[in-house]
Structures are given as structure tokens and as C-alpha cells.
Amino acid sequence: MVTAGEDQKRVGFVAREIKRRTGKAIHQQKMIRDGDHVLVAVSGGKDSLVLLRVLHERLKRIPISYNITAVHVDPGFGGNSAQEIEAFFSSQGFDYKIIESDIGPKAHGPENRENPCFLCSRMRRKLIFELADSLGCNRIAFGHHKDDIIETLFLNIFYGATISTMLPVQELFGGKLTLIRPLYLLDEDLVRRYAEAMDFPKIQMECPSAGATKREEIKSMLNGFYRSSRKIKGNIFHALQNVNPEYLL
């Protein structure tokens, strides 16, 4: 039986690890500088909510200052997901913008049944880029973690015929805009535990593809390997930083 004291220690450990690894990622990759305006893309999932909270709390502990604007693109599936996210932003005192759209139904139209997630993501990112430009944001932060980066590698190999994945820092438009992923050193399980400890809302987007995507298939495959050996995830992640081009065709 887990006591209340033991439970508090576990929560404290998770919170410290989240802050430590996020701080390490930001520092090593020089993700955020003094005076930056960071647009935090918030989908409504645990990852982006954790990212938003960590970046906001970090301002209390560091010698630099930056502005944060939380942005959610409502995909237009119906329901009250946008209202729930807006209520969360407001209750936490975040500066925020909600973009209403119909990209979800468009991406799932009859002419695009094969890969609706790719088109939805591309259209959502376009809206975010346009808003970043209008707000004067020079950084866009996404909540992708270590598992996302590994899964993207295999998605690109299996379905894109390319060996590539997401970068921790990526400059666009001649350096005018920079994409950052401050959670890239974090395992998804640690992010999930922190979100549960913080009692973040679980927001359903009503997406018809939820739970039935190629990414979910890759995740299931990888989890089978992870169960067989605790070293496999770390080995894959480190392999991305230890590429030997001489032994590639």
C-alpha cells in the first residue's frame, strides 16, 4: 500500500525530472533567449499542456525574460473542446488565442481518406505560422517528447522512405521563425505522470482518426520491443545522434 507521503515523494520526483530535463534541453540547444516571444502550440493533449505549464513556471527561476502566448487551433469536429481549453487558459492566467477552423472535417473528406492526419497537421501548422507572424512571435514551441521523435523516425522509414525525424530546434524562413521542442529529452510516461499529478483536464477532440493512426501502430510495435528490453528506447534515441553515413546506401 502506497502512503500519502510516498505518493508526494513520487510526485515531487516527477516534477523535478520534468523541470531538470526540460531546462537541460533548452540550455543545451539554446532554444529560448532573453526577449523572445514564444507561441506555445496547445493541442489539448497532455504533452502541450505540460509544456505550457513548465515554460510558464520556468520564468520564476531563470535570469532571462520571455513572453508566452498559448495558441489552440480548434479543428472543427464539434463538441466543446475549444471551450474547455479556453477555460483552462483563463483559469491559469495565460495569454492565449483560439483559432476556429474547419481543417479537421476537410482533412477527413472523401478525397483524402488515406492520410487525414498529415493534411490536418499541415493545415494546422500553416494557421499557427500565420498567427505567429501577426503576433510577432519568433519562437513556436511544440510538445513533442522523446517517444514522438522515435516514432517519427519509424513512420518516415516505413511510409516516407526516408531516414529522418523531428529536430529539437529548426529555423524557418531564413531564421525569422524557429521551432523548438523543449520536451524532446522526456519519455512520454514521465510527461503523462506529471499531467496526472497536476490534474490537467483530459480534453477529447472528437477526431474520428483518434487511436487508429499509423503512429498508433508504430507506438504499439515499439512498446513490444521496449517490454523485451529496457535498453532499446535509449539505444534508438542515441542512434539518432550517432549516425554513420559511410554505412548507408
Give a yes or no: residue 25 inside a domain. yes
Give a yes or no: residue 247 inside a domain. no
Give a yes or no: residue 174 inside a domain. yes
d(CA 112, CA 73): 20
Give a yes or no: residue 2 inside a domain. no
The enclosing domain of 15 has a CATH number of 3.40.50.620
d(CA 104, CA 117): 9
- The pLDDT tens digits for 163-209 are 999 999 999 999 999 999 999 999 999 999 999 999 998 888 778 77
What distance, in Å, lies between the first and last C-alpha atoms of the chain?
55
Residue 93 DSSP class: T
For the chain, the domain total comes to 1
Domain span holding position 119: 7-241
Contact 222, 154 (CB under 8 A): yes
Question: What string of pLDDT tens digits covers the 249 residues of the chain?
Answer: 546 566 677 788 999 999 999 999 999 999 999 999 999 999 999 999 999 999 999 999 999 999 999 999 999 888 788 999 999 999 999 999 999 999 988 888 877 666 788 888 999 999 999 999 999 999 999 999 999 999 999 999 999 999 999 999 999 999 999 999 999 999 999 999 999 999 998 888 778 777 778 899 999 999 999 999 999 999 999 999 999 999 999
